[in-house]
Structure 1
Amino acid sequence: MRIALVTGLHAEARTEAVDELLRTVPRSVAVHHDMGDIGDGVVRRVVRDPSGTSRSEQVELDHACASCTVREDLLPFLLRHAADGRHDLCVVDSWEGLEPRSIAESIAARPELRLASVATVVDTSRLTSDVGSPDELGDRGLDIAQDDTRTVAEVLNRQVEYANVLVLSAEGGHSHARALLRQLNPAAAIVTSGADLSGFLDQRFDPESAHRRLKPAWAHYLDHDETRGVSTVTWTRKRPMHPERLSDALERIVATSLRGRGRFWLASQPDTLLVWESHQDLLMVESGGPWLSALPEAAMDLVSPDRRATALLDWDPTVGDRRQHLSFTGVGMDTASLLALLDSCLATETEVGQEFQNDPFAEFSEG
């Protein structure tokens, strides 16, 4: 049985797209897990069919959480419907606050199911404000756990960037929305709600390829694009950054864009690849492991072929795969000032190799 995973923070636009699939694809059914009361231990499964009939029931879970819902109810539901043969397509209408990756991987791992497509539906009138929103999911009643501190911007970006199809609501503002979505996810097809999606239902979505495409430690981003006031710029340099100057500039760098992602290299930690993820004013930094050029030759056999291939694309005979590779997308962004600010954080020739007594990023050291 084919599965279409439909995600999106904007519930009304997403529901319209799911209903359109049910109307146009014969022998289809849709399932939605309502997690609005998950804080009280309640999850409801809602099943819809092309006739408009809707059935809702509370599901029994060992623990009321998103991962338990997928494992203990969604997957068994899909497997039962695949076995009975009455439906050719099941549309998984995902809850607003869920990111698609874990659901897609769980579905694709089952040989009885064919994950055909992952579509994210957006309300074009809300896209820019939500990509730049500081709100946490809990502020809108969309959190899925007591300690869920993810932001609206963080979740929406991950929904948009993971999908292979982006569906725009039928309302206006498409040209600006297309420019922003195209720069956030150049790999996705962009269609308008009501368009024929049947061509995407004969495919097979590959979660491994999506993961490789998105992993900041490996990804390559658009060099430069500017369309209808939406800009993306990628900053690549072959010198490390001074840790204190970068720390002092972080707030200004993050404030310039709606979305930032990539990898960076510090003079204080020459062997550690650091990962950058920013969503408006939220910045997350983590260790991405060692640069490949920091590994002994014998250890290279333990590195995945994809990671080696990506590193070799721009290998430098002096610094290997060490480099700055940061991409920023924003609306009305002053790219020249941003690039100048990033360049000001680079270490000078005399600073490279020196001891840094004060390293604000010391917690990420591989050593």
Structure 2
Amino acid sequence: MPQRPRVPLVLVSGLAPAPNDALATLLLHASPGTAVVHHDLRDIGSGVVRRRLQLRGRDELTPLELAHGCVNCTLREDLLPLLRRLARMPQVDRIVVRLDEAMEPEPVSWAVRNVLVGDRPVIDDVEFEAVFAVVDCATWLADVTGDDLLADRGLQGSPEDERTVAQVALSQAESADVLVLANAAPDAWTAAKSSAVLDRVAPSVPRIELARANAAELLGAVPAGARRGEVTDLHGALLRGEPPLHADCGIELVQFTAQRPFHPERLHEAIDLLLEGVVRTRGRAWVASQPDVAFWIESAGGGLGIGHAGPWLAAPDGPAWAEVSPERRTLASLRWDPVHGDRAQELVIVTDQATPAEIEAALQEALLTDAELAEGEAAWREYPDPFGNWHEDPCEDPEEEPDRHANAANRKDETR
């Protein structure tokens, strides 16, 4: 008997519950065989998740008690097995996962592709059709430029979740194949500025107004080259599409590159500029005191984390070229240095009130001088290093919270 084709899978994300529900309902009625799944994490601190399943007129609400209340457990213990069961039901021809407000599409996509359920990942049964992100135009700009934690709004994905609202909102938009616009901006300036930010963090991603959309239009708007759940390689390209390089409503994109390392103490001082008047920072850094490892720097609004993105290809314990993506091999080949290999600075910064020239100057100042560069790696490794293995700003007293750094800095690996 021929094997059944994989079932299309759609992810819906966003910070606003009502528009998320409206979009999920719209997709539910796209075909009689559409199943919609939603895990409500609002009581996850008590170890309870409420799962809603809608299919062919059925609307089932099931409370789930998890041994450890967190997004990871919800994914591994219930969502992934449920996706496999639904994909094998002949009456199901599409699955829509309406993600909780605290969930980002990329970790879910990674889990679908890589976490084993039995002896195989769920991607063997489903294929990503689209990833939608709902943008609440009334509040989105304030969300991505603010300092609120998810916990401040009762939206955290676990009791230990220290992510900011800005981190989640930007990650949702950056992962989307289509941005679905809900509600109206409070004024024309907010609307224009929100659009300018989206032009730079999600360039070329179609935008559709929820109030005027239908399911066929939404699904048909997914571009041919859309990511469709593809997980970002921390050593891949930092920019997708063609973001504008000019300023608009005070929003501007800065690309910082250099082929010499940062001095760890001067980089630590420069980091403050990435927290004031900056919407988004993403990229890789080469720090002199730890020359073999690539640092991953990521900021959103007032929150910033720094973690390790694995070794450089040129590091003694670096991966073999055949083990990394073709994209990473291409990038490394283009910038390969005979002494330092693929080590380099690559940061993309979306500014708001900050002056791009000031950011560029501060980062340039943090690089090693010619004299320091001539000292060599043996001397660099002896530099005082305020980062240690992990770092998070604003700085915390390490004696009070010794394990906090890894939490925020390693956010991208929460489900891996």
Which TM bucket (shorter chain)?
0.7 to 0.9
Contact 2:109 2:231 (8 Å CA) reproduced = no
Residue 84 of structure 1 aligns to a residue whose secondary structure is coil
Deviations 1:11-63 (A, max 9, x none): 12212222222344453232211111111222111234687x74322135444
- The residue aligned with 2:4 is none
Within 1, Cα distance between the matches of 2:354 and 2:92? 48
- The residue aligned with 1:218 is 236
Q: CA deviation at 1:321?
A: 2.0
Give the TM-score normalised by structure 2.
0.77
Within 1, Cα distance between the matches of 2:228 and 2:29? 27
Residue 143 of structure 2 aligns to a residue whose secondary structure is helix
Within 2, Cα distance between the matches of 1:69 and 1:298? 32
Q: CA deviation at 1:205?
A: 7.4
Distance 1:234 1:205, change over 3 A: closer
Q: Which of 64, 68, 75 pairs up with 1:70?
A: 75
Note the 1:130-279 alignment, pairs <5 A: 130-172=143-185, 174-186=191-203, 188-193=205-210, 194-195=212-213, 196-199=217-220, 209-212=230-233, 215=234, 217-221=235-239, 224-279=245-300
- The residue aligned with 2:125 is 112
Distance 1:78 1:201, change over 3 A: farther
Q: State the one-letter code of the partner of 2:388.
A: E
Distance 1:267 1:197, change over 3 A: same
Matched, 1:311 2:317: no
Contact 1:2 1:89 (8 Å CA) reproduced = yes
Deviations 1:337-363 (A, max 9, x none): 211222222222112143355422462
Distance 1:309 1:207, change over 3 A: farther
Q: CA deviation at 1:141?
A: 1.0
Within 2, Cα distance between the matches of 1:223 and 1:71? 39
Residue 343 of structure 2 aligns to a residue whose secondary structure is coil
Within 1, Cα distance between the matches of 2:89 and 2:273? 57
Deviations 1:156-190 (A, max 9, x none): 22222222222111424554333212311236333
Bigger shift: 36-45 or 63-72?
63-72
Residue 14 of structure 1 aligns to a residue whose secondary structure is helix
Distance 1:297 1:279, change over 3 A: closer
Q: State the one-letter code of the partner of 2:277.
A: T
Deviations 1:216-270 (A, max 9, x none): x332336834333321111112232222222222213332312111112233344
Within 2, Cα distance between the matches of 1:202 and 1:274? 32
**Identity in percent:** 34
Q: State the one-letter code of the partner of 1:363.
A: G
- The residue aligned with 1:88 is 93
Residue 210 of structure 1 aligns to a residue whose secondary structure is coil
Deviations 1:173-213 (A, max 9, x none): 5543332123112363332224321225798976784323x
Q: CA deviation at 1:313?
A: 2.9
- The residue aligned with 2:385 is 360
Q: Which of 352, 362, 370 pairs up with 1:349?
A: 370
Within 2, Cα distance between the matches of 1:202 and 1:257? 29
Q: CA deviation at 1:329?
A: 0.8
- The residue aligned with 2:22 is 16
Contact 2:256 2:346 (8 Å CA) reproduced = yes
Within 2, Cα distance between the matches of 1:83 and 1:202? 28
Residue 239 of structure 1 aligns to a residue whose secondary structure is coil
Bigger shift: 143-152 or 299-308?
299-308
Question: How many equivalent residue pairs?
Answer: 361
CA RMSD of aligned residues (A): 3.0
Within 2, Cα distance between the matches of 1:243 and 1:168? 41
Q: State the one-letter code of the partner of 1:81.
A: L
Distance 1:19 1:311, change over 3 A: same
Q: CA deviation at 1:95?
A: 0.6
Structure 2: gaps (5+ residues): 1-6, 114-120, 391-416
Within 2, Cα distance between the matches of 1:254 and 1:60? 38
Q: State the one-letter code of the partner of 2:128.
A: L
Deviations 1:64-99 (A, max 9, x none): 432222233223333333333223222111111112
Note the 1:282-361 alignment, pairs <5 A: 282-295=303-316, 299-317=320-338, 319-354=340-375, 355=379, 357-361=382-386
Within 2, Cα distance between the matches of 1:105 and 1:25? 27
- The residue aligned with 2:34 is 28
Q: State the one-letter code of the partner of 1:359.
A: P
Q: State the one-letter code of the partner of 2:289.
A: S
Q: State the one-letter code of the partner of 2:169.
A: L
Within 2, Cα distance between the matches of 1:30 and 1:343? 50
- The residue aligned with 1:103 is 108
